[in-house]
Structure 1
């Protein structure tokens, strides 16, 4: 399908939100130790032995049903907020990757969730209400020589959202409530962050990073995580603070093989971000990234999807908390029909759908779909996502697999690109020239 005849506009909202411009900041962060610092964070698979969620008796496939249910729940929430500027919910069951950070002096590892809707970076601190110290290591501020509370009169306290003043103790506090009624309350403070490479070497040490030390936190998974790495385009987001020390405004993230618990991803902020591969221009508006998509193909067959199928200008959300991909009913129907026709060449038996829009088969992705054609989402220019069988389908159990695409609730409802479709790719944003680069990657930094 020629671009000139069938270009339609999709909007991508990153769960890993970044920003185009920054306000004047008063944060006095300082880099020590290295001349060429790199702000890279490992993204650890939820089912990895390195994860606080690790359970040797379960596998990714054991949790497939819960992944479906969590995707439906998250989609319903985002759809309910389609016409509003909103802070995302904190339903964490669908998150497959967690950012591993080293905080304090001496350092303590914490596992945080990447969340575009959070204004600040906060972690669970001692003493902590609703925390279970047997399931997660809770940060103890008294053991760090670098911890400092922000006072009520500090510039950061006055400029930051969701803050209050504890006048009795002259401490700046924060109070965040999320869309699903999760919340975090605590003190704003400064601390040292250390960025480590995969071999344990220090890439950068940043002092006086402002963060929230949460004493009263309530989230949907009973405290089995360290906190939230807020990436919204605000004064105190971690990305904003680290960009102060960067020569240019760049950001990248990469997700590994979501079906392999041993795989890792990465989040890189600043000059060290991976900006490579083919690019497409984007426009940032109202917390959304707008890009132009040329076509969608299954194998060499173009689906000839016109703009009316998306109801005009449509939001497509690239979300780390949703496993499945949701597309408008007409678009999903064309994909489903193309996949069904292609599947006739393979020795698998279709299963009657249990839910609306499902397409399932008896068999194994690994054994029965060798040679399955790719699905391509081509963007304006030459950037594209080429999805292989492990990104198109999800294994439900040993002998059943399903299409990892579901229909949105209607033509005018938001669409979401989930983590199954994002795996194996690096997304690099060059904010100086408004270019998004996409490249197939093994997520090495």
Structure 2
């Protein structure tokens, strides 16, 4: 299978164009490599967030089918700690209800089912799909939901893995080009080659739904900061394989706190400008928003010599009227966010 779809920028998120149902309904949903379940808001809504696109109505689709609690797909998700699956034991063929809580505290609740997806020119039957009818918390109105690009069995990728040979690739367009579009490619089209291309191994570890890679360190000019100068609480060993997750659904890159602090201190000494305090208190390295502001290149050193040079537009973002470092400290999970991936994936 060789297909592609459009991917585009909307605020701080990247949206994929998909078609679901019969007849097919166009939906723009967040491209998220750290999510498994693909879902959109559905009618009838108990509590739906505002969205610009029409909310999908599964009752108008001839290919929609509710997932039974007795199905193997539902049973597999009942053992998944990241998804809260509930079934009514009083009814043999009860619906497979699910709930997801994201890092920002927002929740999405709905019913798992099966639906037809259209990808490029190909229609794919009986794809696991979440109809979300109770959605609370942060939600950007340009999006209809999430396309789960994680590696779990019920993710979009997991369900078409054999068709695409386990291969997909994408390019995230520059944020300065708001109307620009690019492609997410599947199958043989997904192979990226040519001058300047680097690669690093994916590491299989828990949670298996995520794409783990190994970050050995970062450098600014002649200063190299190894990953093991600080160890996140969730890690038992230093410089462990698969120590950072590639997440297209998260904007900022998260580094272990000690490593981040060393990076911030290095940048403060290298940037010829006076830092300005963020009035929200959320980001610690900010500067006045002036034209042509630049910071030194930050190189991320991944395993097997995969060095990725991040320029100012990958590492500095407008925030509260200022320009702030879009890398933040974390004592939990190290994340390689979409700003770092922009024009680099």
TM-score by length of 1: 0.62
Contact (CA 8 Å) 1:152, 1:167: kept in 2 or not?
no
For the aligned residue pairs, the C-alpha RMSD in angstroms reads 3.4
Q: Does 1:403 align with 2:328?
A: no
Q: 1:308 aligns with which of 229, 253, 277?
A: 229
Contact (CA 8 Å) 1:357, 1:407: kept in 2 or not?
no
In structure 2, relative to structure 1, the CA distance for the partners of 1:293 and 1:119 (3 Å cut) is closer
Q: 1:107 Cα deviation (Å)?
A: 1.6
Q: Does 1:358 align with 2:279?
A: no
Q: 1:163 Cα deviation (Å)?
A: 5.8
| SS of 1:260 mapped into structure 2 | coil
Tell me the residue number matched to 1:193: 117
Tell me the residue number matched to 2:206: 286
Contact (CA 8 Å) 1:378, 1:384: kept in 2 or not?
yes
| SS of 1:229 mapped into structure 2 | strand
Matched pairs, number: 323
Distance 2:344 2:47 in 1: 36
Q: 1:376 Cα deviation (Å)?
A: 0.9
Contact (CA 8 Å) 2:18, 2:118: kept in 1 or not?
yes
| SS of 2:263 mapped into structure 1 | helix
1:243-301 CA-to-partner distances (Å, cap 9, x unmatched) read 1323x2223233221343223354444443234322222321112555444442223x1
Gaps in structure 2 of 5+ consecutive residues: 79-84, 233-237
Q: 1:324 aligns with which of 246, 252, 255?
A: 252
In structure 2, relative to structure 1, the CA distance for the partners of 1:167 and 1:144 (3 Å cut) is farther
Q: Does 1:182 align with 2:103?
A: no
Matches within 5 A, 1:1-400: 36-38=1-3, 40-47=4-11, 96-115=13-32, 118-131=35-48, 135-150=52-67, 154-161=71-78, 162=85, 164=87, 170=93, 172-178=95-101, 180=105, 182-188=107-113, 190-196=114-120, 202=121, 204-214=122-132, 216-221=133-138, 224=141, 225-246=143-164, 248-276=165-193, 277-287=197-207, 289-299=211-221, 301-305=222-226, 307-310=228-231, 312-313=238-239, 315-344=243-272, 348-352=273-277, 355=281, 358-364=284-290, 366-369=291-294, 373-396=296-319, 400=322
Q: 1:386 Cα deviation (Å)?
A: 0.7
| SS of 2:191 mapped into structure 1 | coil
Contact (CA 8 Å) 2:252, 2:337: kept in 1 or not?
yes
Contact (CA 8 Å) 1:125, 1:139: kept in 2 or not?
yes
Distance 2:256 2:140 in 1: 35
Tell me the residue number matched to 2:81: none
Q: Greater RCO between the two (CA within 8 Å, min separation 6)?
A: 1
Distance 1:337 1:42 in 2: 39
In structure 2, relative to structure 1, the CA distance for the partners of 1:395 and 1:249 (3 Å cut) is same
Contact (CA 8 Å) 1:292, 1:379: kept in 2 or not?
yes
Largest Rg, 1 or 2: 1
TM-score by length of 2: 0.78
Q: 1:160 Cα deviation (Å)?
A: 4.8
Distance 1:155 1:283 in 2: 27
Q: 1:382 Cα deviation (Å)?
A: 3.1
Gaps in structure 1 of 5+ consecutive residues: 1-35, 48-94, 197-201, 427-445
Tell me the residue number matched to 1:63: none
| SS of 2:226 mapped into structure 1 | coil
Contact (CA 8 Å) 1:136, 1:223: kept in 2 or not?
no
| SS of 1:395 mapped into structure 2 | strand
| SS of 2:264 mapped into structure 1 | helix
